Amino acid sequence: MFKKVLVANRGEIALRIIRACKELSIKTVSVHSTADADSLHVRFADESYCIGPAKSSQSYLNIPSIISAAEVSNADAIHPGYGFLAENPDFAEICETCNIKFIGPPSKQIKNFGNKAKAKELMLSLGVPVIQGYTGKCETRKEISLAAKEIGFPILIKAVSGGGGRGMRVARNVEELEKYLKIVRGEAQVSFGSDEVYLEKYIQNPKHIEFQILCDEHGNGIHLGERECSIQRRHQKLLEEAPSPSLDGKLRDKMGELAVKAMKSIGYANAGTVEFLVDEGGDFFFIEVNPRIQVEHPVTEMVTGVDLIKEQIKIAAGEKLAFKQEDIRIQGHSIQCRINAEHPETFVPSPGKITSLNIPGGLGVRVDTGIYGGYNVLPFYDSLIAKLIVFDKDREAALAKLKWALEEFHFGGIQTTIPFHQKVLQHPQFKSGNYNTNFLETYF
């Protein structure tokens, strides 16, 4: 087992990793920007190093500074969390070169899945259903027309290296396709350093379902059930639950088994999610693999009792999975709300000082956060400030618990998306469990 782990992240996920390390008796090292000097992940790590100014590109994305902190502190592993460098194959490769264990899949696999067009080709070769697409250049009107004819409208334009809902547009005719290709290429270049895009058939009214996978370095792999992630705004997830309220047992088993088989066949190691769209007819299609831990991982932990961060660390340390597929039991129901420091209707960021704070608690109520009373929500980073997770015997009971937990969750001094979540919970379509990725566009 590792003696010391450096956490290359900030906020709630950094604190979450630090806690898991403490339970495994592993020393921790945190890194921080000048703006984050008073953060909880700095306070509760055994050591902490400033790696640059507030701007992410000069701190949390500064690979030389992070590697230097790892070497100075004698850390033998780095956990990247999610976001920032978690899916950067160059960072993982540098860690490997420096003999520092990267707690995640090997750099080669991150690179393979980072290119979403190539990931689709790989999954198709493994027998996983994929959405019809086009990977040509689409630089001339003739090529654009050819792509449109081959796929058929509506067409989804996606950045090859995209993620987090960025670099995506839906085109419903040739004119929109030409227009949005330029826009998505520009967004992709700015956000991901590559303007490469690909096209695929846009599936209307799908459900977004992802399966949590764990694979060790000895060829063993399991899934821990699915998460329903269809409440989205501009392809960014806002609320997740496990299990999905609309997936039947037969389809669940089929999708889970296929996801595990595919990941094991390529020698995948560590945690990851295989993501699918399920259409109105019950057919499912692969969309991407996220080769890291996800923001929404707590709902899986609540219904399985498996600590995914600990399992990541154990796998990276060379241990075999302690579970077989038949050991995994999905019990009860869990729902997570992402609490962002944003206006609840316009979603405009709302940075500032938290003047008062009340965090809900009790049996089956979990809050993952890195904030506290008097904390300054910074304008430099993602607006996610807390994750409210509830668990109960079934979905109805979990919804009732989530309702009062949101009522008790209070922030003074800033605006949050709590009122938005309360509106979602009150909507009959959400209560029924029969909703899809167009829920917000349709009802809000």
> Catalytic residue numbers?
292
CA 1 to chain centre: 26
| Cβ atoms of 114 and 89 closer than 8 Å | yes
Amino acid at 392: D
Helix intervals (H) in 229-340: 249-265, 297-304, 308-316
Query: Exposure pattern of 341-374 as b/e (b: 16+ CB <10 Å)?
Result: bbbbeebebbebebeebebbeeebbbbbbbbeee
Rounded to whole angstroms, the Cα distance separating 268 from 309 reads 17
Q: Give the separation between CA 77 and CA 96, rounded to whole angstroms.
A: 10
CB distance 237 to 338 below 8 Å: yes
Q: Return d(Cα 2, Cα 313) in angstroms, integer.
A: 8
Q: What CA–CA distance (Å, rounded) separates 339 from 323?
A: 32
CB-count exposure of residue 139 (10 Å: 0-12, 13-18, 19+): exposed
Backbone angles phi, psi at 341, to 5 degrees: -80, 80
